Structure 1
Amino acid sequence: MTDQAVAAGGVRSFFGRQRELKALRADIERTGLDTLAGHKAPRARVLLIAGRAGSGRTALAGELVAGLGDAYPDGVYRARLTEPGGDPVPTARAAQGLLKDLGVAEPPGAAEDELTEMVREALSVRRTVLVLDDAVDAEQVDPLLPDNPDALVVAVAKGPLTGIPDVRPCTLGGLDPKSAIELLTTLTGSVRVTVDPQAAETLVEECGGQPAAVVLAGRWLAARPKASVADLAKRLRALNGDPLSRTFRLVHDSLPQPAARILRFLSLAPLGRADAHAASALAGCSVSAAETTLAGFVGLGVVREEGAGEYEVPGHLVPLLREQMEERDRPAEVQLARARMLERTVRLLQSCRAVTEPEGSAARKKLAGLPRALRFPNVAAAAEWLERRRPVLLASARLAVADGELDTLARRLVAALVRAETAHRGAEAAAPDLYGLHRLVLDVAERRGLHRERAAALLNLADLDAKTGRTEDALTRYRAALDAGKAANDPYAIGRAMESVGGSYQELGDWQRAGDWYGRALAQRLARDERADQARLYARLGAVQTYAGRYGEALRNWRAAAAGYRRLSDLPGYARALSEAARVQEYAGRPEECLRTCEEAVEWARRAQDVRLQAALQLRLADTLDRLGDPAAARLHRSAAERLLGTEASAYEIRSASLED
């Protein structure tokens, strides 16, 4: 992101571009082609600010948007469509970020079309400005355009967005000389510019009028009070390349070697963002040295301070830093820097999760042995760090997996991030992130032929698919997980996959196939003498056989489930299995047996102190007694249920008149 707005004395100022601002504001008010043709505009007005990196295009967009608050009261939303290194951001990921900002819950694993539709729907009823920064092409922009003529989209791109109708681009070149010199003066002070105005003009010409280059030149001069403007212009003239790359190379080459190395390695930081700990890990230096160096970089304009001890490398400098790194640093050193950064991130995530464990636990004891820099003082501090760093942590996981050379560290990082997010945010809130992380695990497992990890990733992804209603997708993944479990000879994965395949068929209403798969899973559990799993599978078999109307088989399985729960001393489970057996007896036309079984279930629910279950069973007893012609006894049981649950009894009522109830 290029920023020609410069912090000077704590005040941000914007220089030049008044003609462009006026043209953009006029474009907002001008009549669109649809209106001229007599049609209502179907979508938001799109303004395009086009220019090369370093031209101040993002700063111009910010200045424009800052003056539109009254016309667009529902706020400004932003999405960056290019990674700092130049790779396009997938549209789905951009949509995810917008949904988060809009306060719209994202379904885990949702497809790109679904996510972009949700963005458009959320923006369709808001009078907002949507800033799409650093767009690569129209294919990135088009899916995010709101179907709302009262909204405004400001797109920032290198060139035209062919394919977006009715877009009038505002193309940026360099700043006019007067504005460029004003910008330079703000950075260097007025004396050196005043004593040699011709040299100042020459310098901004060497910078091509590009705000980013002028800022670097001005910062370089500010750090060297004895250097003249003319000397800097002469140095730049002697270098090859475009204005920004020449100015950057001058700044980089003026740094001491250790500082220059830290700066180059910052290009490895996910999203170009790092704190002192990440910088120290990348460079292999102390945290204090990294902190001092980062503060110096802010003064030179090569990083921005983002608050909370975090720094960001401007996006237009990341490719230049990587060029320097490829030229000056050995590949083994670069890989070692990546590994150090990932290892520190893993340890921070482990510490972030460990702080949620009870005092005296093994995790807390291990946490106490970590260096102070890797420990969090309390749960709140860890949660705040995780939330603030979450985009960077997710990007770190993606980069680690994409690297392909550090798969062991990548797997540890993903596992640590999954545990930390689950511990602090809960599985449901973290589900969209977890879906992406499980996909990363699957990528590594398939690349390395790790069948056990592949089975685990597929099971986790399938579970999330099942929870969001994508049952067919879940079924496909459960079957793939079964194959992977067999390849790994992993009994847990095999049994879990078979049971889950049965659950998918049950969700699809295919009772025959569901029963068949539950039976296969049960056979495996019986062979391994896994009694808790046996009881659960007997219950699941009983349920699908009840739905299928095979009451004899259903009753046998519910009784087997009840016997299993009783052996396990699981009194609530025993009571529930008896209650389901009573339901089957009722469906089979055996009300007297149903009554006896239900009474037994009530007694066991009372012993288990499960008030809700006991009340629900009392209501079922009442229904059965009504059908047996004993309304007085039915009233007694209903009264008992009401006493147990008060006015909320109806919320927990279990009726049994039909299978649909």
Structure 2
Amino acid sequence: MADQVVGGGHLAPEAARGPGAAARDRRSALPRQDGAAAHRGLPGFAGRRHELKALRADIGRAGLDTLTGRRGARSRVLLIAGRPGSGRTTLAEALLRETAADYPDGVLRAVLTGRDGAPLGLARTARDLLTALGTTAPPGAGEDELAEAVRRALAGTRTVLLLDDAPGAEHVEPLVPDAPDCLVVVVSQGPLTGISDVRPCALGGLDTAAAVEVLGHYAGPTRITVDPRTAEAVAEECGGHPAALILAGAWLAARPKLSVADLRQALLAVPVPPDLPAGDRPLHRAFRLTYAALPQTAARILRLATLAPDGLVDAHTAAALGGCAVPAAAAVLHDFTALGLLRPVPGEPDPAADGGPGPRYRLPGCLVPLSRALLQEYERPADVQLARARMLERTVRLVRSCRAAAEPDGSPARRRAAELPRPLRFPTRAAAAHWLRTRRGALLDAAAMAAADAQLDTLDRRLIAALTRALLAHHGPEAAAPDLYTLHELLLAVAERRALPRERAAALLNLGDLDAGAGRTGQALARYRGALEAARSVRDPVATGRALESLGDTYGALGDPIRSADWYGRALELRLARGEWSDAARLHARIGAAHGRAGRYEQALKECRAAARAYRRLGDPAGQARAAEAAAGVREHAGDLAAALGERLTALEFARAAKDTSLEAGLQLRIAEILDRLGDPAAARLHRAAADRIPQEAAD
């Protein structure tokens, strides 16, 4: 029968079905699924009730490292161990559903293995968990600091932490919170050696009765009831492997005219590589059987799904990879779930409710190597490169549209976004912000993918720049700082690999600013020196000036005012040479403040007066106020409080002339402090009261 044909040799499925198959595929969709195959969960959780009961009992059992009658200090760790595809994640999710009432603070999920099969890394996992918890850690924080932040955020809560596809104990142990009311459920292939008192649950294949139940759930009960012996034979051919049974059952569900015997015959007809281990053969056969029946576009999307950033596929990603329309890709992904090829991401909101671009799916870990093998077998490297570039280009357009949604109505960015195709537009700012928040991990992974590929021309820098602007627009500088740090590091790697000194200087300056804000002053100093070297190599005056000023700021923070004044002086020379008088005036004031901290009061006052003259020539009363305030700081540092009071009163008059209410209020408070020190508390109270009135008067 035609629907039992399996591709063999080195032909793709569409080629193996004959010269007219590709044309027929373009006119047809995936086989439609009946009601049985549409269910996501198994009634009664077939074949794992004993394991589920044992896991629940282990939650409350006394630990080996606890004293009698006393609870342990750390969370209970349950391990569900088994080969990929053995139903370990399904068992974990069933456990979470049954224990949901015991953990009112909810469930945190993290997948610890990336799309390429390598560990994601503790820093990435911890940062994702902190984002889900609604908290942050300083940008550029190390693994230990991030893990500590996760444990601190979970302390005092009743939360379940599900760590899926854990590579080993070293990726789990730092995240286990010191919170006995929390529960950690780990899904892994092997033991977690090194973590004390782990309660393991090892999964093997399903017994025959449970395997037949899984098969019947997806294929429908009628044909199983009619031929139970053959159904048992199919279960045996699948080795009791849940993933293989799901694929086989879904394949049969799509073919209502075939029998269970036809399914068994089709499975046995699938060629198996002679060197394939016996334990891997059932899943190989079921996957290849399903794949061989896919239409051309669907088959290509499945092959390229392993390229999806963060291992997550949505309609936009699938459309870009497969080179098809977004609605067609969405239909393919929906049908893939019925076929057992994709799993919906838990907790995805309804796209109709929030205006989002649709749900996301993940290729099961057991199918990733099989899909990657198809990619290497049927796709030329140039075609893979093109698909990746097409996907990243669409991501750039989506991110730019997301950024435009934060602009006011009628702005040029909003008008340009309105001209984009409908699938690339966001209906509201809230929908764009939601998309950016939920796709954060995938977008950062897409940026890393672009940065790692040296053949994508400027696509990497365009994506990083667009994502930086979108994060700033929707999240603000403070909330976006951790992700911006990651993006600037990627840009730095690209700039160093391609010998781009301007981009290197910009990345180092931005990283230095974030390091300085996080208190890593020494690291910031090294960043700024590197930026200065790169900027000077291409005679970039803007980056050079910024690096010189940043070095002055950093030495000031390190308590070295003499070096701080020296670097400010170099920046001043550059500003004067370029005729940047406003920046020069600002630097005069900074140099004066630095000399004042060093005890060079005459030089300090000279620089402050130079700043005041420059601001006066520019007609900038707010600048004159800041220059007078700098002079007051010098007088105060020298111990001349009366002169400091006079300078601040002068500054106050300039602030009023400039109508700068925030500067005026700050000066009123500083004047009150000096009056207190001069022994005039009544006058100090008057100035504090004036400072309190300023915001209300400005609002009126």
Instruction: Provide the TM-score with structure 2 as the length reference.
Output: 0.86
Percent of matched pairs sharing the same residue: 58
Report whether the alignment pairs 1:114 with 2:164: no
Larger relative contact order (Cα-Cα within 8 Å, sequence gap ≥ 6): 2
- In 2: Cα distance, 1:370 partner to 1:398 partner: 26
Aligned to 1:288: 327
Q: 1:614 to 1:138 in 2, by over 3 A?
A: closer
Report whether the alignment pairs 1:25 with 2:25: no
TM-superposed deviation, 1:292: 2.8
- In 2: Cα distance, 1:191 partner to 1:623 partner: 87
Aligned to 2:286: 247
TM-superposed deviation, 1:247: 0.7
Aligned to 2:360: 311
TM-superposed deviation, 1:524: 1.5
Report whether the alignment pairs 1:61 with 2:108: no
- Give the letter aligned to residue 86 of structure 1: G
- In 2: Cα distance, 1:223 partner to 1:87 partner: 35
- Give the letter aligned to residue 399 of structure 2: L
Q: Deviations over 1:244-281 (max 9, x none)?
A: 12211110111122221122122211123233222221
Q: Deviations over 1:22-72 (max 9, x none)?
A: 332333343322237999744333221111110000111122232223444
- In 1: Cα distance, 2:108 partner to 2:683 partner: 61
Aligned to 2:577: 527
- Give the letter aligned to residue 320 of structure 2: A
- In 1: Cα distance, 2:155 partner to 2:100 partner: 18
- In 2: Cα distance, 1:402 partner to 1:95 partner: 23
- In 1: Cα distance, 2:510 partner to 2:575 partner: 21
Aligned to 2:163: 132
Aligned to 2:462: 412
SS of 2:554's equivalent? helix
Give the RMSD, CA atoms, in angstroms.
Answer: 2.6
Q: 1:603 to 1:637 in 2, by over 3 A?
A: farther
Alignment partner for residue 445 of structure 1, among 478, 482, 495?
495
1:55, 1:174 within 8 Å by CA — same for their partners in 2? yes
- In 1: Cα distance, 2:50 partner to 2:677 partner: 85
- Give the letter aligned to residue 607 of structure 2: N
- In 2: Cα distance, 1:411 partner to 1:135 partner: 32
SS of 1:87's equivalent? coil
- Give the letter aligned to residue 130 of structure 1: L
- In 1: Cα distance, 2:682 partner to 2:80 partner: 75
TM-superposed deviation, 1:132: 1.4
Instruction: Provide the TM-score with structure 1 as the length reference.
Output: 0.91
Aligned to 2:251: 220
Counterparts of residues 178-577 of structure 1 (less than 5 Å): 178-239=209-270, 240=272, 241=276, 242-306=281-345, 307-308=350-351, 309-312=358-361, 313-577=363-627
TM-superposed deviation, 1:461: 0.8
Aligned to 1:49: 80
- In 1: Cα distance, 2:671 partner to 2:127 partner: 50
Q: 1:332 to 1:60 in 2, by over 3 A?
A: same
- Give the letter aligned to residue 311 of structure 1: R
- In 2: Cα distance, 1:493 partner to 1:187 partner: 62
Q: 1:287 to 1:591 in 2, by over 3 A?
A: closer
1:611, 1:645 within 8 Å by CA — same for their partners in 2? no
Q: 1:169 to 1:429 in 2, by over 3 A?
A: same
1:137, 1:161 within 8 Å by CA — same for their partners in 2? yes
- In 2: Cα distance, 1:311 partner to 1:468 partner: 34
- In 2: Cα distance, 1:621 partner to 1:561 partner: 21
1:44, 1:148 within 8 Å by CA — same for their partners in 2? yes
- In 1: Cα distance, 2:105 partner to 2:413 partner: 46
- Give the letter aligned to residue 605 of structure 2: L
Q: 1:317 to 1:607 in 2, by over 3 A?
A: same
Q: 1:346 to 1:248 in 2, by over 3 A?
A: same
TM-superposed deviation, 1:474: 0.9
- Give the letter aligned to residue 382 of structure 1: A
- In 1: Cα distance, 2:491 partner to 2:47 partner: 49
Q: 1:595 to 1:127 in 2, by over 3 A?
A: closer
- In 2: Cα distance, 1:527 partner to 1:549 partner: 29
Aligned to 2:10: none
Aligned to 1:145: 176
Alignment partner for residue 642 of structure 1, among 676, 689, 696?
689
- In 1: Cα distance, 2:339 partner to 2:369 partner: 18
Q: 1:262 to 1:387 in 2, by over 3 A?
A: same
Alignment partner for residue 135 of structure 2, among 87, 104, 109?
104
1:276, 1:288 within 8 Å by CA — same for their partners in 2? yes
2:75, 2:183 within 8 Å by CA — same for their partners in 1? yes
1:259, 1:293 within 8 Å by CA — same for their partners in 2? yes
Q: 1:627 to 1:425 in 2, by over 3 A?
A: closer
Q: Deviations over 1:520-569 (max 9, x none)?
A: 11111122221122122112111111111211111111112222223333
TM-superposed deviation, 1:233: 1.4
1:622, 1:635 within 8 Å by CA — same for their partners in 2? no
Aligned to 2:654: 604
- Give the letter aligned to residue 422 of structure 1: L
TM-superposed deviation, 1:181: 1.0
SS of 2:285's equivalent? helix
1:34, 1:40 within 8 Å by CA — same for their partners in 2? no
Which segments of 5 or more consecutive residues in structure 1 lack a partner in the other structure?
1-5, 650-661
Q: 1:226 to 1:591 in 2, by over 3 A?
A: closer
- In 1: Cα distance, 2:55 partner to 2:547 partner: 58
Deviates more, 1:388-397 or 1:334-343: 388-397
Report whether the alignment pairs 1:35 with 2:83: no
Q: Count how many residue pairs are aligned between Structure 1 and Structure 2.
A: 641
- Give the letter aligned to residue 366 of structure 1: R
- Give the letter aligned to residue 172 of structure 1: L
TM-superposed deviation, 1:149: 3.7
- Give the letter aligned to residue 564 of structure 2: A
- In 2: Cα distance, 1:594 partner to 1:82 partner: 61
- In 1: Cα distance, 2:311 partner to 2:227 partner: 37
- In 2: Cα distance, 1:31 partner to 1:620 partner: 61
SS of 2:110's equivalent? strand
SS of 1:426's equivalent? helix
- In 1: Cα distance, 2:367 partner to 2:160 partner: 27
SS of 1:147's equivalent? coil
- In 2: Cα distance, 1:603 partner to 1:168 partner: 72
Report whether the alignment pairs 1:161 with 2:210: no
SS of 1:106's equivalent? coil
TM-superposed deviation, 1:234: 2.0
Q: Deviations over 1:416-465 (max 9, x none)?
A: 10011111111111111111111111111111111111111111111111
Q: 1:45 to 1:467 in 2, by over 3 A?
A: same
1:15, 1:179 within 8 Å by CA — same for their partners in 2? yes
SS of 1:34's equivalent? coil
1:303, 1:311 within 8 Å by CA — same for their partners in 2? no
Deviates more, 1:63-72 or 1:610-619: 610-619
1:84, 1:316 within 8 Å by CA — same for their partners in 2? no
